Amino acid sequence: MGSHPRSDRRRFLTSGGALAGFVMGATRPGRSQTAAPYEPQGLLAYGQPSRFANLVRRTTGRPTTITDTALMTPLQELDGIITPSGLHYLMDHVNGIPDIDPRQHRLLLHGMVDRPLTFTMEELKRFPSVSRIHFLECNANSRPLRGPNRESVQLVHGRTSCSEWTGVLLSVLLAECGVQQQASWIVAEGSDSNRYTMSIPLGKALDDALVAYAQNGEPVRPHQGYPLRLVVPGWEAIRAVKWLRRVHVVDQPYMAWHESGNNADTRPDGKGLWFRFELGPKSVITRPSGGQHLPGPGFCEITGLAWSGGGIVRRVDVSTDGGRTYREAELQQPVLPHAHTRFRFPWRWNGEEAVLQSRCTDQRGEVQPTIEEAAKILNATIDYFYQADHFNGIQPWKIARDGSVTNALP
């Protein structure tokens, strides 16, 4: 009996050799083309950007306390609001990235709950999933405002990235366990060799915390916490525990080393700042920015990113005269809570010296301060912010008559 034409075609397309020949034949250039043919390394190879695209994460060259994994996102080279997974900034406090088999990985929820539960990855993916676009920002972002790296928007402000995170809301998992009335905190722990641990108020955990297994449509990458990462929208990224293995429901914070020592700031009056969760309204012009060069007078679109731990960015104002006057910029859609927001501002440079800066206002009416205003709030000098975390001050860029752009902060 003869085979059906559709069956023959199906067998042909699913045959490895036939499919390889079919695809390679389709990509082979014609005789009239002079460019070298694109040669894929394999049908299943992971895609790579063009060799002409200058998309590289860079480091300040200063190792962190435990490891030298500190790579910044090239904000000046990106468009839109999504950071490609391979360019997401890295700031790790671990001794080596764990190599975790997801088939063996377990997430334990226990403590002040009615039913302690352990979930496999397969079980977690059976729960209703959500996808949310959120930024992550290191609490030390924008700290190196002085020194040889101050001219680069990447090396000063590149410890922030924005991704689409997919997973299960932590509130759903906690509901399965039955949180007891006396509980008020959770303690999240990672699977790394240091057992990285963070305390988070229960209210935030039940609000919008996400147990993410995917980032930008693919599994969370190993350096970002594969196979599970806790995402705590709008809060400092040190709370977003990677390689999540345990959530302990408790009635008080645990004062783990990374929250009470390593990441604690000292105020000008000598008191420690242990729990600084939410990140303030912030924006930065990414083009033109430090280290770049304008070729000459004429039209130049000013663009950058704004974000806030307080929710949605409501407004971004841009100044081209060092803050004396501001005009409202256009916010590019989508504008989402706890996500990077792209802003654009049309400008015609007249060839004279200019100072560009942006100012973010969030949905609660909080306004991004200048460095002088931030210092006044804490009763400190501006020098305080060259060594402390959580700096969200306005970043000015100076354009000289020759078109060169430099950092205008004192």
Q: What are phi and psi of 23, to 5 degrees?
A: -70, -45
Q: For residue 4, what pLDDT is reported?
A: 43
Residue 120, pLDDT > 90, answer: yes
User: What is the DSSP track for 34-49?
Assistant: -SPPP--S-TTPPP--
142: DSSP letter: T
What residues have CB less than 8 Å from 346, skipping those under 6 apart? 299, 301, 302
Average pLDDT, the chain: 86
Peptide bond just before 334 cis, omega within 30 deg: yes
Q: For residue 17, what pLDDT is reported?
A: 37
Stretch among 11-20, 81-90, 151-160, 355-364 having the lowest mean pLDDT: 11-20
Distance CA 87, CA 205 (A): 28
pTM value is: 0.85
pLDDT digits (tens, 9 = 90+) for 267-278: 666 666 666 789
Distance CA 100, CA 279 (A): 31
- At 19, the amino acid letter reads L
Pair of tokens at residue 73: 């996102």
Residue 323, pLDDT > 90, answer: yes
Q: For residue 360, what pLDDT is reported?
A: 98
Stretch among 39-53, 93-107, 371-385 having the lowest mean pLDDT: 39-53
Distance CA 104, CA 357 (A): 50
Residue 7, pLDDT > 50, answer: no
Q: Point out which residues pair with 62 in neighbouring strands.
A: none
Q: For residue 68, what pLDDT is reported?
A: 44
Nearest alpha-carbon partner for 91 in 155, 145, 41, 166: 155
pLDDT digits (tens, 9 = 90+) for 135-188: 999 988 997 677 788 999 999 999 999 999 999 999 999 999 999 999 999 999
Q: For residue 14, what pLDDT is reported?
A: 36
Pair of tokens at residue 389: 């975390």
Residue 64, pLDDT > 70, answer: no
